Structure 1
Amino acid sequence: MSLKTRISEDVKQAMRARDKSRLSVLRQISAAIKQIEVDERIVLDDAGVTAVLDKMAKQRRESLEQYTSAGRDDLAAQERFELEILGEFLPEPLSEEELAALIDDAVTSSGASGMQDMGRVMGELKPHVQGRADMKAVSAAVRARLNA
């Protein structure tokens, strides 16, 4: 079952269960996917949907950080809830060891020798880590690896 179909089925289940908070988040996800499809006149596959979900999760993490530092626990709780729902549709996160192995493989296969090759390494890594790791953390790890 594709991700879009799973999301659609979960919307229906939330409607039947009268779970308004979950339904709201699922509708936000559906709207974001449809917005991309309409704007770019394409039909998103699972990889595209994962990219949209990853972007939404990143936004929620940043908002959560800001709300927590501002002492807005009510808004932080809502962001945590939305992140939890988004996490249901994202692939399993990579462990530190798996990420390090992927970075080593990308550096080796791209022939990277220094920081000037970071774009090439990130380009090779992105399809493998999209939705499974925070790209900010991946970028920092690649930078550290290339500077070593």
Structure 2
Amino acid sequence: MGLFEDIQREYIDARKKQDKFVTLVLSMLISDLKYEKIDKQRELEDGDVIAYVQKTIKQKNEVVIEFEKGGRQDLIDKEKNEIHFLNKYLPEMMSEEDIRKIALEIKESTGASSPSDIGKVMKEMMPRVKGKADGALVKEVVTKVLSE
């Protein structure tokens, strides 16, 4: 069974238990994933679902920042709870040290020697860490490695 089916099953369980929070979060996620499926015109693979959940979490983090500017603690708490809940659908993220090891390995194999070679390294790096590491963190680590 795929991740999308797991989410649907959890949604049904939440409805049976009358868990309003989980039901609301998952119904919105399932609806969005169905639209994503229509846009892609194919069945969603686990990687697609993970990418969409990551995108949703990123958007919610941006919303939290805006709510903090507006001083809306009630909405901040709601969004953070949703983010915390959605994180369980993501694979465990790579540590900065793991990213660094891969970056060093790629630096050697590509012969990259300066920050101007970041494109070469990132081209090899992103497919290896896709879905397991934040792109901004990867870029930061690669920049540090190339500056050494």
User: How many angstroms does 1:36 deviate by?
Assistant: 1.7
Alignment partner, residue 85 of structure 2? 85
Instruction: Give the alignment's TM-score, normalised by structure 1.
Output: 0.86
Structure with greater Cα Rg: 2
User: How many angstroms does 1:133 deviate by?
Assistant: 2.5
Evaluate the alpha carbon distance shift between residue 110 and residue 12 of structure 1 in structure 2; reply closer, same or farther with a 3 A threshold. farther
Distance 2:33 2:110 in 1: 32
Counterpart code for 1:38: I
- Percent of aligned positions that are identical: 32
Give yes or no for contact 2:96–2:141 (8 Å, CA) kept in 1: no
Alignment partner, residue 17 of structure 1? 17
Alignment partner, residue 63 of structure 2? 63
Give yes or no for contact 2:100–2:145 (8 Å, CA) kept in 1: no
Counterpart code for 1:40: K
Distance 1:35 1:120 in 2: 35
Q: Deviations over 1:64-95 (max 9, x none)?
A: 23322432211111111111121110001222
Q: How many pairs does the alignment contain?
A: 148
Matched, 1:125 2:125: yes
Unaligned ranges ≥5, structure 2: none
Instruction: Give the alignment's TM-score, normalised by structure 2.
Output: 0.86
Give yes or no for contact 2:47–2:131 (8 Å, CA) kept in 1: no
Instruction: For 1:1-148, list aligned pairs within 5 A.
Output: 1-148=1-148
Structure 1 counterpart SS, 2:89: coil
Unaligned ranges ≥5, structure 1: none
**Quick check: 131-140 or 82-91, which moved more?**
131-140
